[in-house]
Amino acid sequence: MSSPHVTELTDADFESFIKNAATPVLLDFWATWCAPCRMLTPVIEEIASENTGKFAVAKVNVDDCPGAASQFGIRSIPTLLYFKGGEKKDQSVGVLSKADIVRKLEALV
């Protein structure tokens, strides 16, 4: 992961990250072999770096963290989940524009 603003989560820490976040959370479920996921990565990193302190942004590799993927019923990737106050508020599947992702996050502020 090239961005210091995006947290890589594991099955062991993703739940505490979501519950303890003081800001809305964007959670990106992805895999290294997924071409659309790789297309979305720079967008996610840009959102994270431009909104430091406003949103918490994290990635979950579905191959490394099957528990997290299973808990949220992730069937297709990339899947973005949007959390506020530890609860899932929204979800999107596939590649979205930066503006669409930011709009969903702004709705949680």
Tens-digit pLDDT profile for residues 16-58: 999 999 999 999 999 999 999 999 999 999 999 999 999 999 9
Catalytic residue among 34, 56, 58, 80: 34
Question: Distances from the Cα of 89 to the Cαs of 3, 35, 70, 73, 82, in angstroms?
Answer: 25, 26, 18, 15, 6
pLDDT attached to residue 2: 53
Here the CATH number for the domain that contains residue 77 is 3.40.30.10
Q: Residue 1 domain-assigned?
A: no
Give the pLDDT mean for 75-92: 96
| Inter-helix orientation angle 35-50/98-106, to 10° | 50
65 part of the active site: no
Q: What is the total count of domains within the chain?
A: 1
Q: Among the options 9, 21, 26, 37, which is catalytic?
A: 37
* Percent of the chain scoring above 90 in pLDDT: 94
Query: Which amino acid would we find at residue 37?
Result: C
Residue 37 among the catalytic residues: yes
Give counts: helices (H), strands (E), the chain.
4, 5
- Helix/strand/coil for 51: coil
